[in-house]
């Protein structure tokens, strides 16, 4: 999915009154601080609920605290600022504080309810919080806006398989993923997963009714290969 903006930008103020100059200086300082923080870590991978995915780490805890404070300072003056809400959600997500991330993504969605990447990220937060039904609900809402959104479809399949023990639904979602995205970068791996799910179901080890998780070590191995590495 498209990466969300990581540097907050503000239009320059034309009014030169002291109050405006101070506000402009604050915004500049916030922007520089956020740029410094996110410059110390690589871009966050697209949110994926692969089971056991390592959490991203922050090299400098002080930078996290300072960036959090700077973003919240912006919200004190502009509580509905969309990009700041998203930035805070990203900050918490990257530090595995998934409830706080979900809260700020939710506030962002109040401003922009058709934002598919943000809703999908919130769904992934719910998955990490042990709420597969809430995750599925968000993924399905994302697909109402963009039925072919690749990351949402992949994530939905993962939650069906590992959260709902439903290999049949997972297979159907991943088949839709490949049909809608013929150039999907992980196409070969997803095809292997679909084939493994088909073999499990036909052998009786995976329940078509969704009451049993496939027991194949091959599927687990494929899921391990699809996991994105932690942010260094």
End-to-end alpha carbon distance in the chain: 21
| 6 vs 85, higher pLDDT | 85
Q: What is the dihedral angle through the alpha carbons of 76, 77, 83, 84, rounded to the nearest 10 degrees?
A: -30
What pLDDT sits at residue 200?
Answer: 73
What pLDDT sits at residue 68?
Answer: 95
What pLDDT sits at residue 59?
Answer: 52
What sign for the dihedral angle of Cα 207, 210, 213, 217?
Answer: positive
Structure-token pair, residue 132 = 């597969």
DSSP string, 4-17: PP-S---PPP----
pTM of this structure: 0.69
Q: pLDDT digits over 127-165, tens only?
A: 999 999 999 999 999 999 999 999 999 999 999 999 999
Instruction: Give the mean model confidence (pLDDT) for residues 165-173.
Output: 96
What sign for the dihedral angle of Cα 30, 31, 33, 38?
Answer: positive
Domains of the chain: 18-226 (1.25.40.10)
Q: pLDDT digits over 97-132, tens only?
A: 999 999 999 999 999 999 999 999 999 999 999 999
Contact indicator for 50, 158 with CB cutoff of 8 Å: yes
| 68 vs 56, higher pLDDT | 68
What single DSSP character describes residue 7?
S
Enumerate the H helices of the chain as residue ranges. 18-39, 61-77, 82-94, 98-111, 116-128, 132-145, 150-162, 167-180, 187-203, 217-226
């Amino acid at each position: 999915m498209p990466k969300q903006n990581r540097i907050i930008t503000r239009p320059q103020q034309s009014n030169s009154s002291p109050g405006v100059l101070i506000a402009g200086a604050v915004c500049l300082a916030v922007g520089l601080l956020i740029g410094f923080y996110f410059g110390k870590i690589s871009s966050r991978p697209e949110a994926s609920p692969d089971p056991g995915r390592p959490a991203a780490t922050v090299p400098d805890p002080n930078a996290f605290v300072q960036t959090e404070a700077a973003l919240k300072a912006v919200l004190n003056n502009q509580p509905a600022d969309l990009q700041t809400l998203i930035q805070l959600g990203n900050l918490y997500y990257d530090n595995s504080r998934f409830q706080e991330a979900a809260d700020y993504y939710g506030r962002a969605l109040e401003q922009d309810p058709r934002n598919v990447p943000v809703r999908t990220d919130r769904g992934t937060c719910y998955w990490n919080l042990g709420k597969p039904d809430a995750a599925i609900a968000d993924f399905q809402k994302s697909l109402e806006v963009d039925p072919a959104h690749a990351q949402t479809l992949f994530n939905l399949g993962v939650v069906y398989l590992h959260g709902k023990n439903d290999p049949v639904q997972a297979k159907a979602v991943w088949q839709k993923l490949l049909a809608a995205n013929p150039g999907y970068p992980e196409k070969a791996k997803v095809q292997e997963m679909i084939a493994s799910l088909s073999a499990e179901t036909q052998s009786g080890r995976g329940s078509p009714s969704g009451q049993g998780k496939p027991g194949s070590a091959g599927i687990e191995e494929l899921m391990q290969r699809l996991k994105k590495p932690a942010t260094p």
